[in-house]
Amino acid sequence: MEITGRLARTINFKLVEAEGLSIERQKALDPDPHDLLIHGWATLVRPISAATLQEALRVFARVLEIEPDSVAAKVGLGYALSCNIADGWSTSVQQDEARAEQLLLEAIAGDANSFRARQALGLLRRLQNRLDESRIEFETAIALVPNYAPAFCQLGMTLICLGQPEAAIPEIEKGIRIGPHDTASPSAYSILSLAHLLLGRVEQAIEFSMQARARNPRLYHTHMLLAAALGLKGELGEAKAALVEGVKIRPEFDSLARLREYCTWGSPRYLALREDTVYLGLRRAGMPEA
């Protein structure tokens, strides 16, 4: 069953990606909403960047202009807004949170079995620090589509934020098994690295951060986690080099104070574990306090 689900997901991803690229090549002046939706989701399954998120926001907003009741467009726009907040690119967090919540709740009211809406709401609830609700939404998404790899990885991240890295690891590992070639897999390996780092398993944290970096070297948090793990291990030269790469990608996260200001969600246990592991390692790697 798991292999069949994995194959189906891989085929589905390839079809979405191919259709999205085909639509882009056509450069139609006014494609229909269905084509726009394909383009929007094809944009979101690429490696995440500020540019891809802005494109997804633009496309889903355009669909809603044409079809204001489109559940799929509400889910896409709500998810893109949440990703924009999660990755620290939003310049209007409160407004984007409110807009995402409105869209996703409307989408679920229109289709309570939309697994994408449930996953998107799970992400938003985590950003709002409503962690138990976040866990429930991801578990609901998994119940609806048991072989949807990203939901397992995101459930793992919510469990980490709840201060339960031990419980998170098997969920993340299952997500990686189901979708080993998913474009989200670099983030999955980073989340797995974080879980091990919080538990003091430095060697495993280094291993999984390096796997994440090999899959996508453009993610700043991969370099940051590697720097933290290497810093805790005492390999300070390599730790500093990894830190430099992370800051080069996201210069706004150049101090511990700025990281704390950005990442405010999490239980007291998670925040304490993060201070004692991630931030201690980054400090040893050379990251200043302010």
What are the tens digits of pLDDT across the range 159-197? 999 999 999 999 999 999 998 777 678 899 999 999 999
Instruction: Name the amino acid, one letter, at 183.
Output: T
136-158 burial, b at 16+ Cβ within 10 Å, e below that, comes to bbbbbbbebbebbbbbbbbbbbb
Q: Does this chain's domain 1-146 share its CATH topology with 181-290?
A: yes
Longest dimension (CA), the chain: 57
pLDDT of residue 183: 67
Percentage of the chain surpassing pLDDT 70? 89
Q: Does the pLDDT of residue 30 top 90, yes or no?
A: no
Closest CA relative to residue 202, chosen from 234, 244, 168: 234
pTM of the model: 0.87
Residue 15's pLDDT is what?
46
Q: Is 60 exceeded by the pLDDT of residue 38?
A: yes
DSSP structural state of residue 275: I
Nearest alpha-carbon partner for 2 in 132, 126, 174, 118: 174
Helix or strand holding residue 196 (H, E) = helix 185-198
DSSP 117-173: HHHHHHHHHHHTT-HHHHHHHHHHHHHH-TT-HHHHHHHHHHHHHTT-HHHHHHHHH
Residues 6+ apart with CB under 8 A from 180: 6
CATH fold of 1-146, please? 1.25.40
CATH superfamily of 181-290: Tetratricopeptide repeat domain (1.25.40.10)
**Residues 189/172, Cβ–Cβ less than 8 Å:** no
Least confident of 19-23, 155-159, 178-182, 232-236: 19-23
The residue extents of the domains of the chain are: 1-146, 181-290
Give the whole-angstrom CA distance, residue 173 versus residue 153: 8
- What is the radius of gyration, based on Cα positions, of the chain? 19
